[in-house]
Amino acid sequence: MAKLIKRLPTLPAERALKVISGRWKAVILYHLFDGARRLSALQALMPDITQKVLIQQLREMEEHGLVRREIFAEIPSRVEYSATRLGLSLEPILLALCQWGQHHADELNEMDRLADCIIRPRQAQDAHAV
């Protein structure tokens, strides 16, 4: 783990941004917030990402402790990715970023160009499930 720590910035805010930066990481995490998924399922949910980039982003998130890769001893072998406890702890942060993005678009009169916010707070999801 010492090798990993040396490569990350020492300023905590910069470190956090480095770990979650990348066009797809927030979207991948969003899809893993609901539970484990296979690579093919993730790719189906994000048709604009190439398999190469998806695998690269998953590996980076695994290296930074946000994602767990589990290989099942089956024939053919099955691999599932899931958010770790550390990865799940980013959910409120991604929600805040999403809300800020909506505010920014509203301030610039660009709400009509904005997609729906994909991050939903887990507490609200849990309340609906009861």
Please write the tens of the pLDDT for every residue from 2-26. Answer: 455 557 888 999 999 999 998 899 9
Looking at residues 102-129, what average pLDDT do you find?
70
Looking at residues 91-99, what average pLDDT do you find?
89
The answer to whether 43 touches 49, Cβ cutoff 8 Å, is yes
Give the number of other Cβ atoms within 10 Å of residue 61's Cβ. Answer: 26
The answer to whether 83 touches 67, Cβ cutoff 8 Å, is yes
Backbone angles phi, psi at 47, to 5 degrees: -65, -20
Q: How far apart are CA 4 and CA 66, in angstroms?
A: 14
Selection from 113, 27, 38, 128 nearest residue 82 by Cα: 38
Q: For 63-67, 97-101, 105-109, which range has the lowest pLDDT when averaged over its residues?
A: 97-101
pLDDT at residue 85 in the model? 96
Please write the tens of the pLDDT for every residue from 37-81. Answer: 999 999 999 999 999 999 999 999 999 999 999 999 888 888 999
Q: What are the tokens at 57?
A: 């982003």
pLDDT at residue 127 in the model? 40
Q: Identify the band that residue 116 occupies on the pLDDT scale cut at 50, 70 and 90.
A: confident
Q: How far apart are CA 45 and CA 7, in angstroms?
A: 31
- Going from the C-alpha of 112 to that of each of 19, 98, 108, 116, the distances in angstroms are 30, 15, 11, 10
Q: What are the tokens at 93?
A: 């942060």
pLDDT at residue 97 in the model? 87
